[in-house]
Structure 1
Amino acid sequence: MNIIVTTSSFPRDKDDYKARWILELGQEFLKEGLIPYILCPHVAGSKDYEVIDGIEVYRFRYAPEKYESLGYGNFLPHEKCSSRIGVLIQYCFNSILIASMLFFMSLSLHKLRKKKNAELIFSNWAFPAGLVSAVYHQISGVPSVLKVYGTDLVFLKRFKLRSLGKYILNKHDSVIAISDYTKDYALSFGADSEKISVFPVGSNYPIIHPQVSLDNFKGKWGISGRPVIFTVHRLIPLKGTSFLIKAMSKIVSVHPDALLVIGGEGPERNMLESLTISNHLEHNVLFAGLVPNEELPLFYEACDVYVIPSITDKWGNAEGLGMPALEAMSYGKPVVGFDSGGPSMTINDGSNGFKVPEKDWEAMADKIILLLSDPVLRNKIGVTGKSIFNDEYRWNKVGQRYAEVLNNAVKG
C-alpha cells in the first residue's frame, strides 16, 4: 500500500539528522509492506527530489529559495529567540509565508497522491501538515492519520486556535500522540479519545562504533577518569540548562572532579557560559557545541548519568517525549529529570531514573550525587532502563504498532 507522509521537518540530505525518526519510521513501514513517499518543504541547499535509504523524498517549493525558512523548527520562535519581541518579529515574518506554504503543500499533496495512487495520508505535526491533511480528508475522503508531538498543540493554543486544533484532531481517522502527556494535551482541545493511540518516537539505538576506541574518545574530550554527566539539546529556555548548571555548584561539593558535558547550541549559550563563570564552574562544565552524529553515541557511552532538565517555558511549551534521554537509556545509563512534560511519564522514579520537582535544582543535584556515589545503584537503574527501552522504544517493536493503526484507518 502506498502512503504519503507529510511533514514540516525532515533530513535535508542523507547525512542530516533533523527529524530523522520520520525517515527511520519510513524504513519500518517498508518492512510492514507500506510504501512511504515523503512530502516536505524545500529548504535552502536541499534537492527538490531525492531518494534517501530507499525512500522517495519530494520537497515542494513555496517561495524564492532565500525565503524558504519555515519548518525545521522555525514555526516555533521560542527555539530561535528568547525575548518576546524577537518572537513577535519572527512570527510577523513567518506569517507572510504561511499562507503560501499551506497552498503549495495542499497542491503538492494532491498531485503526489494522484501520481502514486496513495491510499492513505500520514501527517506529522498538527500544523501545518495536519491542517492540510484534515482539509484534504474532508474534501476527498482519503483516509488519514495524524501524529502530534506537543509543541504543535501548544502553537495552536498560544494563538487561541483551540477550535482549529479540535477540527484538525477530529478530522483524521486516527491520531497518534508520542506520549501520555501529549495525549492529555490533545484531549484538552476536545479530541475524540477513541481515536487517539500513544506510541513513542522509536529509535535504532544503541549504535556501536567498534572502529572508535572509547578511551581515545575520552582522551580527545578530556573526560578520562572523571564522573561525567551528559545532556544534549538546543540551548533554549525550554530545555532548562541553567538549572542543571546551578545543580553542578552543589554536585562539585561532593564530587569535585565531576564534569557536566553540554552538547548543542542555541541563543542561551552566552548566558549559560556567564552563569558557569559566575558559579566558578569552568573546571566542571564543558560546552561541547553541536555534537557530530557519529560522536553522539560515544558521549552516551562515556557518561555516568544522563540528565534531561527540561521545564515548562513561559510560552507553555514542555518536552513532548525527550528522545535523547531514551537513547541514553539504551546504553544502560540512569536518567535524571524534572517532573515536567513527557519525561515525567517516561521516567519511572527509582526504576529507570529519578524525577524531581520542576526547577528544583537542589533536589536534582541530590539525585545526581546519589548516582555518582553508588555504582551498584547506578548500574541497577541503568540495566532496568535499558530493558524498558528495548521493550518499548526500539523501532522493531514500535514500527509494527504504527503500521497497524495505518492499516486499520484504510480498512475503516
Structure 2
Amino acid sequence: MGSFNLNIGIYRNTFLPPSETFIYDQLINLENSKVKVITRELKYENYFDFRNLDIITLIEKEESPLIKKFKKLMFTLSTSSKKMEKSVKENDIELIHAHFGVDSIYALKLAKNNNIPLITTFHGYDITRLPKFTFFPISYMIYYFYINQLKLKGDLFIAVSNHIKTRLENAGFPKEKILIHHIGINVNEIPFKEERHNKEITFLAVGRLTEKKGTIYLIRAFEKLYYTQKNIKLIIIGDGPLKEDLVNFTDNLKSKAKIEFRGLLKHSDVIKEMLNADIFCFPSVTATDGDQEGLGMVQLEAAATGMPVIAFDSGGIKDGIIDGVTGFLIDEKDVNTFSEKMNILTTNKKLREEMGRKGRNNIEENFDIKKQTRILEKIYEENLKK
C-alpha cells in the first residue's frame, strides 16, 4: 500500500455491531492513512476480521466481567479515560473520526486534550430520534447534556445525506462545519445482473422488523397488488420485535402463501437473494419517536445488483434514488401509490431492466466506496491543515 501520510483514529464506543459493515468497509479502504481503531470495548470478533487492525481499547478481553462492567460505567459517566488519552498521544494520532453523535461525545475529550481535530459522522438516529432526555441508555442521557459542547468544539460534522444535513442545521450545528459525504459500498464486489427470468415476479425487502422499516405498509401494498396480479412473490429478510405481529397479520391475507419471512441472513446470502429477485422495496417511514433512515445502505446494494427500487420518501432515502429513473419515490405510508408502482414494474420487464441499469450506473458514479474514501482522506488532509 506504500507509505502513509495520515495517522487517523477511528472511534466507536462498541467496535463493532454486525449491522455496521459500512464503518468496517470504510476504514479498510483508507489507503493513504495509518488507522488506529479507538474503542471502549471490542465485540463481535467472529463477525469481522480484526486481525489486521490496530486497536486501542479501554476494556481488555481477559478482565473479569465485574471489572468490565465497572470500567464501562465509569467511562460512560465521565466521558473520558486517561489511559485512552495517553494511547492517542503515544500513537501520534493526528485526527479522530468518530461515528455517530453519541459516540463523538466520548471522542471529544480524547481529541481536545491531545489538541487534534475531531470529525463526526452522523448516520441517522443520532440526530433524528436523538438527542432527547432519557435515563437509559446512560450514553443517550450524556449525549443530551453534552451535545452543545460538541457543536461548539467539534471541528467538522459529516452528514450521510442531505436530510441529515438539514436535521443538523435545525439542531443548531454550525452550517459552516457541516459537510455531506456518502460512505458508499463495495460496488466491485457486488455482481450486476441485468436480465432476470423468474417464474414469479419477486419483490424483496431487507431490514430489521421495526416500526421505522415500515414493513406493514409493504405487506398491505403487496396484498392490494395480489388482487390483480397472481404471479408475484414477496420475500422479507430480517428479524426484530415486530416479526410475530407481521406474521400474524399476514396469516389473515389472501396473499399469505406468496409472502415469505426468511429471518436473518448473512450479508453474502442477502446479496444472493438480491440477485434472484426482480424489484427491491424500501418502505421505511418516520417512527413515532422520530427515528428516520439516514440514507439506507441496503438500497444502494440492491440498486448495484441491477434492481429498480421502490421506496417511501422518508429521511435521507431520496439521496440514493433518482425518482422515475432508477426507481420510484412515494409519499410516506401511501400504500395505494406504492402498490401502483409495484404493478407498473410487475408488468413492464423492459422498464425494470432499464431502471436497473441506470441504478447500477448511479451507484458506480456516486456511491463507490473506493472513490468516496479517497474523498474522505482529502477531507482529513484539509482539516489537518487548519
Q: TM-score range with shorter-chain normalisation?
A: 0.7 to 0.9
Query: Which runs of structure 2 are paired with 1:9-408 in the superposition (5 Å)?
Result: 9-11=14-16, 17-29=18-30, 31=31, 33-42=32-41, 46=45, 52=50, 54-61=52-59, 65=65, 99-101=74-76, 103=78, 106-127=81-102, 129-159=103-133, 164-205=146-187, 207=189, 225-408=199-382
Match of 1:215 in 2: none
- Give the aligned residue type for 1:55: L
- Give the aligned residue type for 2:98: S
- Cα 1:22–1:269 change in 2 (3 A) is same
Output the CA distance in 2 between the equivalents of 1:23 and 1:38. Answer: 10
Other structure's SS at 1:306 match? strand
Output the CA distance in 2 between the equivalents of 1:327 and 1:352. Answer: 13
Question: Given that residues 88 and 110 in structure 2 are in contact (C-alpha distance below 8 angstroms), is that contact kept between their aligned partners in structure 1?
Answer: no
1:324-377 Cα offsets, whole Å, 9 max, x none, are 001111111111111110113332210111011101111111101101111111
Other structure's SS at 2:182 match? coil
Gaps of 5+ in 1: 70-95, 211-217
Output the CA distance in 1 between the equivalents of 2:163 and 2:148. Answer: 17
Question: Given that residues 3 and 118 in structure 1 are in contact (C-alpha distance below 8 angstroms), is that contact kept between their aligned partners in structure 2?
Answer: yes
Other structure's SS at 2:154 match? coil
Moved more, 50-59 or 386-395: 50-59
Output the CA distance in 2 between the equivalents of 1:123 and 1:389. Answer: 25
Output the CA distance in 1 between the equivalents of 2:67 and 2:249. Answer: 36
Size of the alignment, in residue pairs? 370
- Cα 1:44–1:386 change in 2 (3 A) is closer
Moved more, 245-254 or 60-69: 60-69
- Give the aligned residue type for 1:365: S
Output the CA distance in 2 between the equivalents of 1:297 and 1:206. Answer: 13
- Give the aligned residue type for 2:11: T
Output the CA distance in 1 between the equivalents of 2:155 and 2:340. Answer: 46
Question: Given that residues 206 and 297 in structure 1 are in contact (C-alpha distance below 8 angstroms), is that contact kept between their aligned partners in structure 2?
Answer: no
Other structure's SS at 2:97 match? strand
Gaps of 5+ in 2: 1-5, 135-142
Other structure's SS at 2:131 match? helix
Deviation at 1:153, TM superposition (A): 1.8
The answer to whether 1:7 aligns with 2:7 is: no
- Normalising by structure 2, what TM-score? 0.87
- Cα 1:187–1:98 change in 2 (3 A) is farther
Moved more, 3-12 or 310-319: 3-12
Output the CA distance in 2 between the equivalents of 1:55 and 1:9. Answer: 15
- Cα 1:205–1:368 change in 2 (3 A) is same
Deviation at 1:279, TM superposition (A): 1.5
Other structure's SS at 1:287 match? strand
What fraction of aligned residue pairs are identical, expressed as a percent?
23
Question: Given that residues 280 and 308 in structure 2 are in contact (C-alpha distance below 8 angstroms), is that contact kept between their aligned partners in structure 1?
Answer: yes
Deviation at 1:224, TM superposition (A): 5.2
